[in-house]
């Protein structure tokens, strides 16, 4: 019998492809624990996610398309979720669940968008879009910039405080999740375990890569598959912990990925094996959005059962709310559908349209890298606005574009997409500006990074670009501002601009901020170039 309030343990990987699992036919790797999940549980074989990190996570956390949430891209201020959104953690927390996040968040690094601000009671997470990226802790970024090793012993954030960890990142996050779910407690739990692997950089312990080197694979491929093998190992550790503590029959375990593989992870000059699915991460062809989705719930879910109907990250919030006795928000549009009847009673998933869109830039552009899936038909206007139409039931590898032969169908689907684009944009009045970062008040120490800045001019986050941060101060206050720059950059003339006021001096300055919104920019100059600050830290004096 299904428990009244089952535990939920949700595992999501970064860049894991449909074809990275041996149960999906990969000839290079064995993933025994994931294969066993598929054989003894239910798989959503029509699950499509992505097409990039932040959009997938915004959909998952809110049950809403990312355009409604402001979290439309991965950097330059476009990966911060609107703090007025209701997250899965808040919805389940409202039903008595204790909530924990371990790993990648990528929906905002500063108040009021951190995990602890949006419903997570416990968290061990890395900042930015990946360990070592711009936006992550300075020491991780310095290791990455020096040539690697950032996935080992990373500095992470425990709640709001930086903490040093020991070990490989996937192991570290798994350790924290196991500790959380194993802790005796009367309340059910929602644990969100978000691996940043196998996203680049391709780094893993030699013991994981060596078997693939021995098999004759090149180093990059060996590192990649070593990372996947380590993920499989850690899934096995999670399952063993649930079994050991008698939690398996009361816990729904989900394993999936945020999108398809990175196109730069080549094997012998070719994109890594992905069951011949077309294209990769960022694209809306099947290789970019179709990913594994495996569910384990002994005694409740059917074994070796497949649900082929299209499903999407927007479906998790209404599904988990129904399973857990929580209230789905009624004051906003929830785009997902409740999958629990399909999971528990083999009822069909409701027929509906699924929409996809992502590209760089501050504002979504109509028909640019956008798609509509109306099973079995898929309309897709690619990054160059070239249109495609596929019948996935007869052409799952998308080799035959039927746009000319099925012109009327394409016209109808295009028109329906355009209506959707207008509707989701109208919720924000077509304003996709990010929410401001709070400094002062509860946010006594804030580290601004290029991941969250708004660019001035060409899009980017290097020291050669310009950007500024949108902040707000709840009350008047005095702040110590510390500037840091890329390793090795000569620091001579440091400048800090706050609105229209310019401060010149060293890397540490003291400023007063009036209550309200502000724009901050920081840089230094030498004889050759103007260099933007890597981090700007604001703290309130003791």
138 is written with which tokens? 């300075």
Distance CA 502, CA 519 (A): 12
Residue 68 DSSP code: G
Distance CA 138, CA 275 (A): 38
Q: Say if CB 79 and CB 432 are below 8 A apart.
A: no
477 is written with which tokens? 């206050």
3-state secondary structure 421-451: HHHHHHCCCCCCCCCCEECECCECEEEEEHH
What is the DSSP pairing of strand 493-498 with strand 501-505?
A: antiparallel
Widest pairwise Cα distance in the chain: 73
Query: Which has the closest alpha carbon to 165: 200, 210, 196, 189?
Result: 196
Query: Which has the closest alpha carbon to 542: 476, 478, 474, 475?
Result: 478
503 is written with which tokens? 């401060």
Q: Say if CB 6 and CB 251 are below 8 A apart.
A: yes
Distance CA 107, CA 241 (A): 29
415 is written with which tokens? 């028109």
Q: Say if CB 201 and CB 99 are below 8 A apart.
A: no
- The residues carrying an active-site annotation are 53, 106
Distance CA 114, CA 494 (A): 30
Helix (H, G, I), strand (E, B) or coil at 394: coil
- Per DSSP (E only), the strands in 485-534 are 493-498, 501-505, 508-513, 516-525, 530-532
Query: Which has the closest alpha carbon to 159: 119, 190, 198, 191?
Result: 119
3-state secondary structure 271-335: ECCCCCCCCCCCCCCHHHHECCEEEECCCCCCCCEEECCCECHHHHHHHHHHHHCCCCCCCCCCC
Write out the H or E segment, with its range, that includes residue 342. Answer: helix 340-345
């Amino acid at each position: 019998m299904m428990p009244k309030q089952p535990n939920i343990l949700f595992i999501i990987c970064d860049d894991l492809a449909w074809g990275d699992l041996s149960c999906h036919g990969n000839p290079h790797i064995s993933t025994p624990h994931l294969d066993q999940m598929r054989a003894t549980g239910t798989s959503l074989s029509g699950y499509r996610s992505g097409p990039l990190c932040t959009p997938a996570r915004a959909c998952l956390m809110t049950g809403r398309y990312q355009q409604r949430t402001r979290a439309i891209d991965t950097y330059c201020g476009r990966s911060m979720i609107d703090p007025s959104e209701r997250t899965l953690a808040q919805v389940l927390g409202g039903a008595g669940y204790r909530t924990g996040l371990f790993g990648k968040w990528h929906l905002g690094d500063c108040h009021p968008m951190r995990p602890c601000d949006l419903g997570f009671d416990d968290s061990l997470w890395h900042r930015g879009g990946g360990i070592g990226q711009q936006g992550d802790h300075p020491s991780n970024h310095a290791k990455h910039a020096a040539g690697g090793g950032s996935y080992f012993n990373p500095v992470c954030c425990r709640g709001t405080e930086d903490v040093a960890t020991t070990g490989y990142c996937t192991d570290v996050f798994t350790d924290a999740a196991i500790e959380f779910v194993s802790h005796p407690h009367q309340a059910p739990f929602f644990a969100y375990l978000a691996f940043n692997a196998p996203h680049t950089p391709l780094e893993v312990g030699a013991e994981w890569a060596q078997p693939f080197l021995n098999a004759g694979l090149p180093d990059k491929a060996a590192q990649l598959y070593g990372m996947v093998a380590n993920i499989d190992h850690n899934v096995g550790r999670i399952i063993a912990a649930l079994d050991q503590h008698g939690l398996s029959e009361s816990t729904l375990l989900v394993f999936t990925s945020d999108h398809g593989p990175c196109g730069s992870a080549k094997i012998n000059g070719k994109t890594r094996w992905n069951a011949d699915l077309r294209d990769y991460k960022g694209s809306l062809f099947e290789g970019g959005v179709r990913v594994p989705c495996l569910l384990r719930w002994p005694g409740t879910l059917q074994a070796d059962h497949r649900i082929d109907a299209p499903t999407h990250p927007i479906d998790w919030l209404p599904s988990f709310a129904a399973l857990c006795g929580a209230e789905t928000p009624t004051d906003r549009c929830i785009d997902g559908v409740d999958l629990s009847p399909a999971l528990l009673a083999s009822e069909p998933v409701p027929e509906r349209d699924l929409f996809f869109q992502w590209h760089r830039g501050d504002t979504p552009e109509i028909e640019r890298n956008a798609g509509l899936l109306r099973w079995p038909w898929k309309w897709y206007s690619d990054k160059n606005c070239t249109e495609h139409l596929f019948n996935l039931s007869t052409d799952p590898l998308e080799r035959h574009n039927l746009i000319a032969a099925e012109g009327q169908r394409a016209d109808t689907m295009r028109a329906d997409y355009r209506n959707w684009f207008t509707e989701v944009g109208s919720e924000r009045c077509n304003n996709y500006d990010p929410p401001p970062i709070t400094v002062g008040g509860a946010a006594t120490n804030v580290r601004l990074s290029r991941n969250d800045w708004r660019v001035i001019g060409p899009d980017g986050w290097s020291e050669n670009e310009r950007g500024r941060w949108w902040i707000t101060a709840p009350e008047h206050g005095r702040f110590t501002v510390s500037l840091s720059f890329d390793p090795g950059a000569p620091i001579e003339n440091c400048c800090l601009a706050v609105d229209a006021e310019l401060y010149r001096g060293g890397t540490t300055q003291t400023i007063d901020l009036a209550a309200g919104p502000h724009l901050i920019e920081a840089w230094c100059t030498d004889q050759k170039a103007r260099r933007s600050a890597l981090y700007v830290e604001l703290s309130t004096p003791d």
